[in-house]
Chain A
Amino acid sequence: MISQFFVLSQRGDNIVFRDYRGEVQKGSAEIFFRKVKFWKEDGDGDAPPIFNVDGVNYFHVKVAGLLFVATTRVNVSPSLVLELLQRIARVIKDYLGVLNEDSLRKNFVLVYELLDEVIDFGYVETTSTEVLKSYVFNEPIVVDVARLPSLGPAGIFMQGTKRMPGTAVTKSVVANEPGGRKREEIFVDIIEKISVTFSSSGYILTSEIDGTIQMKSYLTGNPEIRLALNDDLSIGRGGRSIYDYGSSYGSGAVILDDCNFHESVHLDSFEDDRTLTLVPPDGEFPVMNYRMTQEFKPPFRINTLIEEAGPLKAEVILKVRAEFSSSITANTILVQMPLPTYTTRVSFELEPGAVGNTTDFKEANKRLEWGLKKIVGGSEHTLRAKLTFSQESHGNIVKESGPVSMTFTIPMYNASRLQVKYLQIAKKAKNDNLYRWVRYVTQANSYVARL
């Protein structure tokens, strides 16, 4: 049970404010925002998602640069409130197509309408986009998508790749398209976040894939859908310690440590033929979340060489090698490395003919940043950085520099080899204008090479 719900902009302005129970004072939004702000300034890092000030519990999640906040005086389940906040954000996104400050400000009356039905007197009534449709009467005012930066992992499908319709993921579930008729389509995105830690000798210390099969349906009439996954998929590592890799590597079988499912999913035939059956509700939702620690081939290898060049100078050589097929291209790659605090100047040297590279030395936190627009599979890229120090390093450069970390996005690639073999839509009448999109994307979560 919550008492208030509000959404704050990055500057702390109320965009939406709803008081359900009148148990918490009106100034709570200011109290909350100041607390969050000063938490960081006091050097304690980010404010935790849950904290208590004078008997009031504040919960918040950050979505699209906005703070979604709930307050209560009651000792509630923290997961329930945080899930709820996240879900409210998703429902709003389903309705508005795009969730950001601008779209929220333009549509705040619609949002109030939603909030009235989602929560009554602090208790959750429904968060189903489907159910809410019959209670909500405002038409969304669609904001101009073209100028907006993409949001969320699925956002990458908006740019680039021609195979996909650009407006898909930003389409409201209720607004009709200019043509009048709605396009019958369904999106299934397999989004994987990978975490790898390499030791200084290049050996993989830990690796994990956190994946999600996300669905967004614009089909009318709620037809049943069958989603077939790999035949050789198995779940649970049979009681072995999950880091006991064994000989599964390369043998082809995909072994998930564990997974969970959306409540609309029926698992009746899952045991037999790895098929998920569901009637997808409107809006975006995760069909299945999974976790895998089975060994996999990391998409990038990182090599770092540090050479001292005199008492006040050193050279860092960073090599990044893409170990995936040349038909695949990774984008928005960023390589970062913290340098010794006494580094004063860095000069960079790229390979001859390198395009789309940016290099920077962030003075404030003494960090080297190397950005690459694209990396084609199979290629290798090198950066040389010459460092100048303000004091002698005493041969401690390696100890004083941080691990090299990397972020990237690789469309149409998935590290786990989990596949959607087919997507079957059961429909009485044959409809030729049915669009099915199955898309894969892999992103770095924590991709780190130690020195």
Chain B
Amino acid sequence: MAPPAQSQRSPSPSQPSGKGEVSDLKSQLRQLAGSRAPGIDDSKRELFKKVISYMTVGIDVSSLFGEMVMCSATSDIVLKKMCYLYVGNYAKVNPDLALLTINFLQRDCKDEDPMIRGLALRSLCSLRVANLVEYLVGPLGSGLKDNNNYVRTVAVMGVLKLYHISASTCVDADFPAMLKHSMLNDSDAQVVANCLSALQEIWSSEASSSEEASREREALLSKPVVYYFLNRIKEFSEWAQCLVLELVGKYVPSETSEIFDIMNLLEDRLQHANGAVVLATIKVFLQLTLSMTDVHQQVYERIKAPLLTLVSSGSPEQSYAVLSHLHLLVMRAPFIFSSDYKHFYCQYNEPSYVKKLKLEMLTAVANESNTYEIVTELCEYAANVDIPIARESIRAVGKIALQQYDVNAIVDRLLQFLEMEKDYVTAEALVLVKDLLRKYPQWSQDCIAVVGNISSKNIQEPKAKAALIWMLGEYSQDMHDAPYILESLIENWEDEHSAEVRLHLLTAVMKCFFKRPPETQKALGAALAAGLADFHQDVHDRALFYYRLLQYNVSVAQRVVDPPKQAVSVFADTQSSEIKDRIFDEFNSLSVVYQKPSYMFTDKEHRGPFEFSDELGHLSIGAESTGTVVPAQRVEANDKDLLLSVSEKEESGGPSNNASAYSAPSYDGSSVSAAASSQMLSELAISSVTGHASQSSLAIDDLLGLGLPVAPAPAPSPPLLKLNSKAVLDPGTFQQKWRQLPISLSQVYFSTMT
């Protein structure tokens, strides 16, 4: 058992917390500090290890700061690293002492071993002490220019750390511009990736106050930059690829052919063993094709197999993350997955958080052809020893029944549940039968016959009891015993703890009274009396209301309480389609796992480094409607608009004013009109002229040539900005390829695209 208050750790034998040990360490460290005896490093290592282990278990060893720093004069790299770790942990609470460390860290930043330089720089930037930032600028500046890539990767992250300690120092030292230069020119892919991470964070947080930063942030999404990253994607580590793909997912191509080029280039990323890469790629595909109905659907078909493979390989935790995304797609377009229902069958040893998702998917994909098998499978789970899942399964059967027009067989199953004589099964089934009757009153005869046999004494759960009482009231003329069952329930009014049940009881007895007055009159009187004396406000009010209503006019009361009802056609969805669209837009994020858009669970500053403002999202969509991309077809209200509702909805809002700034129709030499891109161009040009850009890709050289005619043209007009990796197919062929994929729905309406 966890103690209720864990903030005060109770000392245990293995975790000493006494001050004794710490002061012991202190004196031992002192002894070692000045010593130059041989083998001294080994003793120091042992002591340092002890300090770090205390630190890990949460014992405050900050009082050793001075001694640790004194001992740090060593050439032993293991010792250095432990010391750095310690210093990084406690500098913030010991700002005065932290100053002591600056000296040796700065010295190490100039060490001839790049490893030491990097380590020292990283530690220097991890001190998190605001009044020491002046000491960071110099080493960071030289770190960014270091000839060793390890030092450069550390320096880039160091800039970001500096930004978080003191944004103004970072910006004043012009570090963002230096990072941008490195991002577009450095030969090391990890340096480039770190620059991208750092700049996304810095510019996103600056964007609210600085127009320039906001422009820079948008420029990250311009064609030259996105293509630059795409062309180098194979150089990046799998993690950096995720970063790049996230960026590409926000890019809005201006031409249809670009979409196919990008998808061609990224196609093999879908075969990656790292699920994060695959999901990031899928996001790109889904976003790119939003306005192309048929291709978008083909993307669904294409990603099915990789997703299923990821779900079944890897740890249960990893497959849960993937399954959550599959769940989202299934809910969006169930018809595409209806033949894959067997993949959503539960395995007996799966954790319940996985089973719950699968049950929802099974419910969603049920259609005329597979309902029988799905319901049969669900009934197996209903008898399961795992009670929460058994309950969910019964609910799933009920939901399927409410979706289908042919409910014949399902009703039979539900009624069988009622006969299973397991409390929780009966309870869930009763709730379902009630909902079913609200939608299909024609089944009342069959249902009532079975429900009538259930003894109300065996029903304990309030929801189930309420359901039974509702049926007693609603069908009291068909259920012979109805008035008497209600009467006995009213007799036990005092023992009924649930207000919901008592409310239903009042209403049911009223309805029963209208249909069978002589038999019910007594019970009604008792119920109203009990209700008026009830301590629960709602129950009391309802009883009073009924009482006065009856006093006023019985037939009016009947019209109010028991009017002829229309069958419910569709039960309201719990989540609005707007919210669902937002979650879909945030694909490959926690929003999908929590099934909530990010604004519901994160504060504004933490929406993620790449959370663009609404206006920008709007702007990018506005660009589509300028006509270079095939306009989204407005389809009739069928399943397909589920897939497309995002773009359609936004588009119906009309293009926004800002759209023009971003609507460069194509990138032919004369008309690079996007302000953001041309700015990026000039930057590139400068960097190139100064001679740093020897490594820059073809794409950038091109741009240079066309964007700034004054600059010396480096190559004899090579083709326009292009993805240079193996674009195996031309757009036409590629689309052909997509089309060959099986489409599960025959009635899908195909629009021809040019």
User: Measuring CB to CB, which residues of chain A are less than 8 angstroms from any residue of chain B?
Assistant: 1, 12-17, 19, 21-23, 26-27, 30, 33-34, 37, 43-46, 48-50, 52, 55, 57, 60-63, 73-80, 82-86, 108-109, 112-113, 116, 120-121, 123-128, 134-135, 137-138, 195, 197, 206, 208, 210, 212, 236, 239-243, 257-263, 286, 288-291, 338, 365, 396, 399-400, 402-403, 405, 445-446, 448, 450
Contacts and interface: CB of A to CB of B under 8 A. Distances in A.
A338 B580 CA distance: 40
Nearest to A256: B309
Contacts of B238: 263
Contacts of B384: 402
B56 A16 contact: yes
Given A52-B601, A82-B318, A403-B348, A108 B53 contact: yes
Nearest to A134: B115
Contacts of A121: 157, 160-161
Given A45-B353, A61-B317, A446-B350, 17 more contacts: A33-B2, A45-B351, A49-B321, A55-B602, A61-B318, A75-B589, A77-B246, A77-B588, A80-B242, A80-B280, A113-B81, A121-B160, A123-B157, A208-B312, A257-B309, A291-B312, A445-B347
A14 B56 contact: yes
A212 B313 CA distance: 8
Nearest to B118: A135
A137 B77 CA distance: 7
Contacts of B601: 52, 55, 75
Contact of A448 (B321, B348, B611): B348
B607 to A, nearest CB: 6
B380 A34 contact: no
A55 B605 CA distance: 12
A87 B220 CA distance: 30
A422 B272 CA distance: 24
Contacts of B15: 13
Nearest to A239: B742
A74 B609 contact: yes
B309 A109 contact: no
Contacts of B345: 197, 206
B589 to A, nearest CB: 5
Interface of B: 2, 6-7, 15, 48-49, 52-53, 56-58, 77-78, 81-82, 85, 89, 92, 115, 122, 128, 150, 153-154, 157, 160-161, 164, 190, 194, 197, 237-240, 242, 246, 271-276, 278-280, 305-306, 308-310, 312-318, 320-322, 324-325, 339-340, 342, 345, 347-353, 380, 383-386, 388, 420-421, 586, 588-594, 598, 601-603, 606-609, 611, 740-742
A85 B383 CA distance: 36
A260 B273 contact: yes
B237 A126 contact: yes
Contacts of A257: 305, 308-309
A48 B313 contact: no
A261 B271 contact: yes
B162 to A, nearest CB: 11
Contact of B190 (A26, A82, A126): A126
Contacts of A76: 589-590, 608
Q: Interface majority SS on A: helix, strand, loop or mixed?
A: mixed
Contacts of B122: 116, 120
Contacts of B312: 208, 210, 291
Given A45-B353, A208-B312, A243 B81 contact: no
Nearest to A45: B352
A291 B309 contact: yes
A258 B306 contact: yes
17 contacts: A12-B2, A43-B388, A48-B353, A49-B353, A75-B606, A80-B242, A82-B321, A86-B318, A109-B78, A120-B154, A125-B153, A241-B340, A258-B306, A263-B238, A286-B273, A291-B312, A338-B385
Contact of A137 (B78, B588, B606, B741): B78
Contacts of B78: 109, 113, 137-138
B347 A243 contact: no
Given A16-B56, A57-B590, A289 B273 contact: yes
Given A16-B56, A37-B2, A123-B194, A399 B609 contact: no
Given A75-B589, A109-B49, A448-B348, A260 B321 contact: no
B2 A75 contact: no
B279 A239 contact: no
Contacts of B197: 1, 123
Contact of B6 (A30, A135, A262, A450): A30
Contacts of A63: 315
B6 A79 contact: no
A290 B85 CA distance: 42
10 closest residue pairs by CB, A with B? A446-B347, A45-B352, A49-B317, A80-B276, A258-B305, A289-B313, A124-B239, A239-B742, A73-B606, A48-B353
